[in-house]
């Protein structure tokens, strides 16, 4: 499959820091894959996702996303690569459906397109039956699925997630992960940041292990767990791989 994202020597320094949050990253993501960033809190995952979504500007380096230049064409990228935030911005007293209708109008989706897109998005994330329920009654996991539905209204080519299941109960977590798998099955490319090794192994076609803003290994979950060389034995989980390579645990 051709690449939909190509990243070249991406670097990010935050103001006042002499240490980069992202260190000379170069990698490519294939169209139609679920690509994971796996690392502990503070490894640089959120910065990477924020750079790819256009929320942050790189200090140096560049990337091409869906055929557009990250530095010179960020507006075009934002239409095609949608970020699904951990903390959705929703109006609690409105229904799920009305939140999406309002979001679509505020973002310029034409009325004749909006209602069919809302209906399709709710069906895709499994919230069609409860579309008239108020947001205030929904769990944090359901609210993240509403946020995912809002991103789908733009009919993006790429979805970017930053630890979407953090502090979510098991039922909501499974529902969200099932939605991600189904959307990928329908052709969307997914970029997925997590500190949960089991989640990465379950979802991702390939995983980049992130430590201190750099990629320490990148391959399929199966290949990472069976790395040759140096007398390294076959490892049972991506947690063990990460510890072996960095000396750190994913959850601190």
pLDDT digit of tens for each residue in the chain (252 aa)? 799 999 999 999 999 999 999 999 999 999 999 999 999 999 999 999 999 999 999 999 999 999 999 999 998 998 899 999 877 789 999 999 999 999 999 988 998 999 999 999 999 999 999 999 999 988 888 999 999 999 999 999 999 999 999 888 888 889 899 999 999 999 999 999 999 999 999 999 999 999 999 999 999 999 999 876 555 566 678 999 999 899 998 976
Report how far apart, in Å, the C-alpha atoms of 134 and of each of 4, 122, 146 are. Answer: 37, 14, 12
- 209 and 218 Cβ atoms separated by less than 8 Å: yes
* Residue 251 included in any domain: no
**Whole-number Å distance between alpha carbons of 45 and 145:** 21
Residue 229 has a pLDDT of 56
Residue 121 inside a domain? The answer is: yes
93 located within any domain: yes
Name the nearest CA neighbour of 30 among 5, 55, 67, 8. 5
What pLDDT does residue 232 have?
A: 55
CATH of the domain at 117: 3.40.50.300
For every residue of 83-107, DSSP letters joined together read EE-SS----TTSBHHHHHHHHHHHT
Inside any domain, residue 184: yes
Domain count, the chain: 1
User: Would the pTM of this model clear 0.85, i.e. be above it?
Assistant: yes
Pinpoint the alpha helices (H) of the chain: 45-52, 74-80, 96-106, 111-124, 140-152, 170-185, 197-203, 221-224, 238-246
Do the domain assignments include residue 7? yes
Q: Does residue 252 belong to any structural domain of this protein?
A: no
Domain that holds residue 138: 3-246
Residue 244: closest CA among 216, 221, 206, 208: 216
> Could you tell me whether strands 22-30 and 158-162 are parallel, antiparallel, or unpaired per DSSP bridges?
unpaired
Contacts for 85 with CB less than 8 Å, ≥ 6 apart: 147, 162
Helix pair angle (140-152, 96-106), 10° resolution: 40
Distances (CA, A) of 66 to 52, 142, 152, 247: 11, 29, 16, 36
């Amino acid at each position: 499959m051709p690449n939909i994202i190509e990243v070249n020597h991406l670097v990010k320094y935050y103001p006042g820091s002499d240490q980069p949050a992202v260190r000379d990253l170069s990698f490519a993501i294939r169209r139609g894959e679920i690509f994971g960033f796996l690392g502990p809190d503070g490894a640089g995952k959120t910065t990477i996702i924020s750079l790819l979504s256009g929320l942050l500007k790189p200090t140096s380096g560049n990337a091409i996303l869906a055929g557009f230049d990250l530095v010179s064409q960020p507006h075009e990228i934002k239409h095609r690569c949608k970020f699904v935030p951990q903390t959705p911005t929703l109006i609690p007293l409105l229904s799920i459906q009305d939140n999406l209708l309002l979001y679509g109008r505020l973002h310029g989706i034409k009325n004749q397109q909006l209602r069919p897109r809302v209906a399709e998005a709710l069906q895709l994330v499994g919230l069609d039956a409860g579309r008239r329920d108020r947001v205030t009654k929904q769990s944090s996991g359901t609210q993240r699925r509403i946020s995912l539905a809002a991103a789908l209204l733009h009919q993006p080519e790429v979805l970017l997630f930053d630890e979407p299941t953090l502090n979510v109960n098991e039922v909501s977590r499974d529902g969200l992960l099932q939605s991600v798998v189904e959307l990928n099955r329908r052709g969307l490319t997914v970029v997925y940041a997590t500190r949960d090794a089991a989640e990465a192994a379950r979802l991702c076609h390939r995983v980049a292990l992130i430590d201190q803003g750099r990629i320490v290994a990148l391959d399929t979950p199966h290949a990472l767990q069976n790395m040759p060389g140096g007398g390294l034995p076959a490892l049972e989980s991506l947690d063990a791989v990460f510890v072996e390579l960095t000396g750190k645990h994913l959850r601190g």
